[in-house]
Chain A
Amino acid sequence: MSGFAYHRPHSLTEASELLGRPGSVALAGGTDLLVSLRHRAISPVVVVDLKSVAEIGDQIEIDDGYLRIGARVVLAGLIRDENVRERFPALVAASSAIGSSQIRNRATLAGNLCNASPAADTAPVLLAHRARLTISGGEESRTVPLDEFFIGPGETRLGPGDIVTSVDLPIPATRVGSAFARVTRRRGMDLASVSVACVLDSSGFVRFGFGAVGPTPLVAESTLPALASDDGWDNLLAVTNPISDIRASASYRRAMLRVHSRRSLEAAVDELEAGS
């Protein structure tokens, strides 16, 4: 690791000012950042540790129809949370798939999104659930829908000085069924070759999130009647554009994407029916 200055600000204003400087990077759990530092994939001048910024929450709260997950919440805390377990089981499944307990004790949900890997395990389910991010520029804050957040591999809409302060999930007004599935080369500690999540509501509308089948996590929508035909599936999956890489070939990804999208939908239908 090359040398850098380490700052641990206590206020959002201070953190934002530091992150507005050239060559600065944000540090939350560090499970991606430390690997990049070690491999010298990045050589920041300033590392800004956000763990002492009180305005960035470390709690999960229900607020104005949203489940608000503070950006300091680690995956292990998310997985344990009763509200998340009850209302967003597919998010629990996706978060549990990440790394090991050692990783989940450090890694944050917000960090998984800000790292902007096309294979980010939590992105598909959050996209399917219409998550939005609350982003602070120090003084002002704004909300950005997650489906507008990702630009490309490792690239997001975050500008200099911007900090994600929470991940907000709208609590569905009516019952929904949800599911998460992923394909990996081995059972644990692997990045997804393909990941899928879907959220189905009682009107038959279904929203999918896809991971590792395009330059960013992707979203697509359809209905149960439309997905009764192969054309419906072709249309749904047209948004994806997988590549061949070290983990899987494009054609394998395409095939597995279809299989697991179908299975996810079946699981979501089962969940919806079980609850009604």
Chain B
Amino acid sequence: MSDHGRSIELMVNGSTRNVVVSSSMTLLDLVRVKLELTGSKECCGEGECGACTMILDGVPVNSCLVLAVEADGSVVTTIEGIGTGGTTPLQESFLAAGAVQCGFCTPGMVVAATALLEHSPCPTEGEIRAGLSGNLCRCGGYDRIVEAVLMVSDCGGTDA
């Protein structure tokens, strides 16, 4: 009885999308499988690693811990929705700082850091480390990631 499709409507990266989802589908699977936006990664699947981070109604969340049906009527930004008009200063600073190693955590890091900077444009190193504590990098490339975010912090060094 349970997994009959349910029709939902949500705004993803500025486009209204109408999709039929099963009740047990996560927002992450909806975005990756149904909408074929595969920038968001599934890694731990339980909210530990942040590779699936999306901005849901203005705040970063683990999309693996949100049911697609919960997002009915919501506004979602994925990594594909960041830098659509050319790379953002943050993305440029990731490149400049060499903040990408294997790249698997990078979409989640960029989304989480983008949300952090929207909320607090002038984070200190400590605030950046705390703000990104929900995003794991298995390569251990944290220093360069923090450096990249500091580069675009309004008071953290060079302005992008």
B21 to chain A, nearest CB (A): 10
The reply to whether B48 and A189 contact each other, CB–CB distance below 8 Å, is yes
In the bound complex, what is the Cα–Cα distance between A44 and B128 (angstroms)? Answer: 39
Query: Smallest Cβ distance from B117 to chain A, in angstroms?
Result: 12
B69 touches A105 (CB 8 A): no
Q: B69–A6 contact, CB under 8 A?
A: yes
Does residue A188 face the partner (Cβ distance < 8 Å to B)? Answer: yes
What string of 1s and 0s marks CB contacts (under 8 Å) between B46-72 and chain A?
111010010010011110111101101
Query: In the assembled complex, which residues on chain B have CB atoms less than 8 Å from the CB atom of A39?
Result: 46
Tell me the chain A residues, 94-139 only, with Cβ under 8 Å from chain B: 99-103, 105-106
Most central of A1, A47, A51, A102 by chain B CB within 10 Å: A102
- By size class, the interface of chain A is 20 to 34
Q: Which of A27-35, A199-207, A235-243, A244-252 contacts B (4 or more CB under 8 A)?
A: A27-35
Give chain B residues whose Cβ lies under 8 Å from the Cβ of A171.
none
B22, B64, B112: the one contacting A34 at CB < 8 Å is: B64
Cross-chain contact B24 with A102 (CB below 8 angstroms): no
Determine which of A6, A31, A51, A188 lies in contact with B65 in the assembled complex, contact meaning CB atoms within 8 Å: A31
Q: Which residue of A lies closest to B57 (CB)?
A: A105
The closest CB in chain A to the CB of B21 belongs to: A6
Report which of A6, A76, A99 forms a contact with B67, defined as CB distance below 8 A. Answer: A6
- Name B residues whose Cβ lies closer than 8 Å to a Cβ of A: 1-3, 6, 22-24, 26, 45-48, 50, 53, 56, 59-62, 64-67, 69-70, 72, 112, 115-116, 130-131, 133-135
A-B interface, 9 closest residue pairs, ranked by CB to CB distance from nearest: A100-B134, A188-B133, A6-B23, A3-B3, A3-B2, A1-B24, A105-B59, A34-B65, A35-B46
